[in-house]
Amino acid sequence: MPAPLRRLAVVQVTRSRPEAAAYNTLVQGLNARVAEVADAAGWLVENIAAEDEGVESLLARTREADAVVIMGGEDVAPRFYGGPAEYEGRSTHREVADAGQIALVRRAVAEGTPLLGICRGAQIVNVALGGTLQQHIEGVGEHRNDATEITAVMRDHDVRVAAGSRLARVLGSTDVVVRSAHHQAVDRPGTGLRVVAVAPDGVPEAVEHESAPVIGVQWHPEDPGA
């Protein structure tokens, strides 16, 4: 009898952004890419939109997942990390999604469920554990292209990964080139987290938990150009 498929919950922010159709197309393409790669690797993938669920429903729907990926999207609402409500580059906030994804991270840490946060997902990991965010990076052009077309915002840059970290073991290197598009980043790491990758300008690019199998990367490994 074949082994049962492992279940992967891919948790995005929302399926619909009528006010930002081009951005939504980009985000949905990245979500689909994760699902395609995971499916090819033998995972049973469920793609869930946190905003559609609310906290309790999201926790219930992901209860049987063997692993979780929290995807990118809009800025995390500042009230979740004690930041000013107004800041440069402010995006739409989706607080229902924030609350649900924060709850997912906390459960993953408590129960030892493998969890990967991508871009905003890395920031959610940090905020969930009491960390704070840099609300707008000085020199943001090193981390995203200032492009008119949303499809051109991704930017390649170097990252140094901490030797001995789980992330370095997964990547097989401490020097990597990543593909990113972000204007925020981890500021103070949350409880149990440490920064394990930085960009040349010192901006944190990845965090991992000291004991739980939880990692957040600020870049987009799922981008087709990565």
Residue 1 lies in a domain: no
Distance CA 213, CA 192 (A): 11
Residue 153 lies in a domain: yes
pLDDT of residue 143: 81
Q: 119 an active-site residue?
A: yes
Q: What's the token pair of residue 225?
A: 């150009």
CATH of the domain at 155: 3.40.50.880
Q: 208 an active-site residue?
A: no
Residue 92 lies in a domain: yes
pLDDT of residue 139: 73
pLDDT of residue 2: 61
pTM of the predicted structure, to 2 decimals: 0.95
Domain that holds residue 113: 6-217
Residue 224 lies in a domain: no
Phi, psi at residue 55, to the nearest 5°?
A: -60, -55
Burial profile 56-67: b = 16 or more Cβ within 10 angstroms, e = fewer: eebeebbeebeb
Q: What's the token pair of residue 189?
A: 């790491």
Residue 159 lies in a domain: yes
Q: Which residues of the chain have pLDDT under 70?
A: 1-4, 140, 147-148, 151
pLDDT of residue 226: 76
Q: 53 an active-site residue?
A: no
Distance CA 73, CA 70 (A): 10
The count of domains in the chain is 1
pLDDT of residue 171: 98
Write down the catalytic residue from 53, 119, 157, 182.
Answer: 119
Distances (CA, A) of 119 to 1, 4, 63, 124, 224: 39, 30, 23, 9, 15
pLDDT of residue 3: 66
Residue 223 lies in a domain: no
Residue 225 lies in a domain: no
Residue 191 lies in a domain: yes
pLDDT of residue 91: 93
